[in-house]
Chain A
Amino acid sequence: MKNFLSIGFVTGIIGQIVGTAIGIGLLTGIRAMMGLAPKSEPAAVLGAALGIIGFMIGVGGFRDWFTWAKGEDTYEAEEFHDRPGVIRYWGYSLDHKVIGVQYGILSLLLMVLGGTFALIFRTELAQSGMQFISLDFFNTLIGMHGMVLIISILMGISAMSNYLVPLLIGAKDMAFPRLNAFGFWLAVPASVVIVAAIFTGGFDTGWTGYPPLSARAPLGMQMFFVAVFFAGWSSIIGALNLIVTILRMRAPGMNMFRMPIFAWAVLATSLIALTATQLIGTSFQMVSFQRLFGMGFFDPAKGGNPLLFQHLFWFYSHPAVYVFILPGLGIISELLPVFVRKPLFGYKWVAMSSMGIALVGFLVWAHHMFTSGMEEYLRVPFMYSTLLVAVPTGIKFFSWTATIWQGRMRFATPMLFTLGAIVVFLLGGLTGPPLGTVATDLHLHDTYFVVGHFHDTLFGGYMFPLFAAIYFWYPKITGRRMNETLGKIHFYLMTPSFLVMTFGQMAVGLLGMRRRIADYDPAQGFQTTNLIVTIAAFLIALSILIFFINLFVSARKGEVAEGNIWESRSPEWALLPSPAPEHNYAQPFNVVGDPYDYGLKGSKYVETAPQQAAD
């Protein structure tokens, strides 16, 4: 029992329960003392927020900072040692590799959860008429599918960047290890709270939470707001840490233009996440306050304006999709040269294109509002700024094509997923301009065409690269390779199913099927297509089940990975054994060349630094 209570996760959950109880009790108690009738909504919001803080206290996130505030010193992060074995993934660790894996576990869990929501409502949509779920529950599922997977994606990119960035740039750890752990654990209670939204009445706005509907949706809406607020803070903290790490902790000799492309991508992503995320937090907080205190920001009856919410919301939520895809595109550029044995074409352009996408991404938000009734003169400028995004994205595609050109390709599973990512993301990219152009968007807005488009971009820009990264770096975590046959089955099952799914979605969208709709008229003629989309969705789920089987079985029975199995130039493969040791590089290294010069004779990227004692 005592052993059980020493696990950070357990004490955290206890803390969350206690915090929630205190929050609810406090407000109900105060109202009772003032002689007012108990009100469930403010009590639930305070309970959820204090629950999250309670979790952080329980898990030990504040312990060292309180010690510092008392004026005492703590151990250095470099002196931190984890408990051996798998148990370390359940506790408060300061090791960036452990935190990266923790992020990954949370991300995959949320991915399964969000995917399951999709399967439920896809089954409902396979046929017209309402089969087995209520309209309200359908709406809740749609919104939950969106937001749970968005949080899953944020956790997934944090997983990749936390695990990889310090390894790739030759740092011992992140710049602020305690903040790093804090950022991760903040997302755990936030995930609990967002799941609680289902059990507190759900919400019917979809993931966007537009007022006025969100101002009068059930209590679940508030849980959704609280969860997103704290998950957003987790993302901000992670981004801050990554920027500082990339700016300050690089190995000697690694100037900005010798950094791996993935580090560039993470830098660009983090700049967006650091700043824009505040806007979604603020806008959701304003709706929340409108519900709690009657502050009429978005209530026309009080002089407010619902359009303001859309501006604030999309100022984050559009750049957010670049947060989702940029690390994935970085993974593509990172893996492609390894498997075609050629230098990455146009390194500087690719590096700068990430920054370009990030900057242009800040200027395009109102393209989500062409049909909202905003000022008409805003339409055309936002149309052009949106189309401008295609330029830096195109640079990446040219680079990938030119890198593949005349290369000696090796079709290992990570490479398959990389190629799949390029194809799928291309489809996502090509379906974008019709939505960014005002004339066509007026027809396509809020149809399934949009759904097909963003599933293409997110699968191409996030899911496929994520799988590629997992297959590629899995040996660094476990010391064993993942099964190639199962990996190939995963790929060859998922890719065609996915393409069928999104093409089907776009087809019904062009015919006029609205997104987030629970039912449709059979006379509209998209019943068959909807059935096919549902079947494809289940095939994708099956392929992901195979992936999970592979993930678990290979951890024990996989082929032992020895040495540089992918013949990569990157330091974590060239210098480190698998699994990667605690505190990374025992011996510092110097960067003496460019990262992607595969196949160039005599070129070198990293070189172990000469021992100081030898001088």
Chain B
Amino acid sequence: MTTPATTLEKQAYKIGTARIGLWLFFLSDSFVFAALLVSRFYLLGDKRPHLEQGLGLIVTSVLLISSFFMNRAEVQISQGNRKGFVTSTLITMLLGIGFLVGVVGFEWGLAPFGPADGVEGAMFYMMTGMHAFHVLTGVVFLFIILRNGIKGRYSPEKHWAVEAAANYWHFVDLVWIFFYPALYLIGRV
């Protein structure tokens, strides 16, 4: 007996299951970042690495704005606004790439130390590197949903992939919310 109602219910149940899986992954992954955060305070304590404050604020803002557009994209697809969804996702993706360029391209070049120059450098490159790796995978996911979105694969009823990618993006943003003060603001130079 597969009436439309039961298939829909089954679909909803399946997405609920997938959602729990996704959140368990976030829980698991957050332990990596927590470990790095703890290491930063264990090794550096009240000292913070000497970094470009202006650049830090810029990349943080870029990531924050990208999160805004990500949320907008998800809302738009759930309302059936496919065109808006594509535009918002594209902006999110470009901002994500901008963040990567800012951190890996500029901040890594401007920092007065290399990864091998003392524990400050080690911690800074490890934390930003691990986070940048996650941003990079996030950009890949965004590219996938963008491509499938242009093809018209998503509808207000069926867009679990968008929700998953969006949640992943916000998770990466969430990590930066804690990494930014830990690297740039807390402690003395």
Contacts and interface: CB of A to CB of B under 8 A. Distances in A.
Q: A–B direct touch, CB within 8 Å, in complex?
A: yes
B74 to A, nearest CB: 18
10 contacts: A71-B148, A176-B18, A243-B20, A243-B24, A275-B28, A282-B31, A290-B122, A293-B125, A294-B115, A302-B116
A150 interface: no
Chain B binding site: helix, strand, loop or mixed by DSSP? helix
A383 interface: no
B121 A236 contact: no
B31 A244 contact: no
A281 interface: yes
Given A282-B32, A302-B119, 11 more contacts: A243-B20, A278-B29, A279-B35, A282-B35, A290-B122, A293-B115, A296-B119, A297-B119, A302-B122, A308-B39, A308-B43
Contacts, number: 101
Interface in A357-414: none
B118 A244 contact: no
A71 B153 contact: yes
B1 interface: yes
B185 interface: no
Contact of A275 (B31, B43, B125, B147): B31
B53 interface: no
- Scoring B25, B29, B116, B151 by chain A CB atoms within 10 A of each residue's CB, the highest score goes to B116
Given A275-B31, A279-B31, A312 B121 contact: no
Given A278-B32, A308-B39, A308-B42, A175 B21 contact: yes
Contact of A295 (B20, B31, B121): B121
A286 interface: yes
A302 B28 contact: no
A71 B151 contact: yes
A305 to B, nearest CB: 6
Interface in A236-252: 236, 240-241, 243-244, 247-249
Interface string B100-128: 00000000000000011111111101100
A341 B115 CA distance: 64
A243 B28 CA distance: 12
A504 to B, nearest CB: 39
A244 B21 contact: yes
A164 B144 CA distance: 36
A484 to B, nearest CB: 42
Nearest to B29: A278
Interface string B1-25: 1000000000001001110110011
Contacts of A318: none
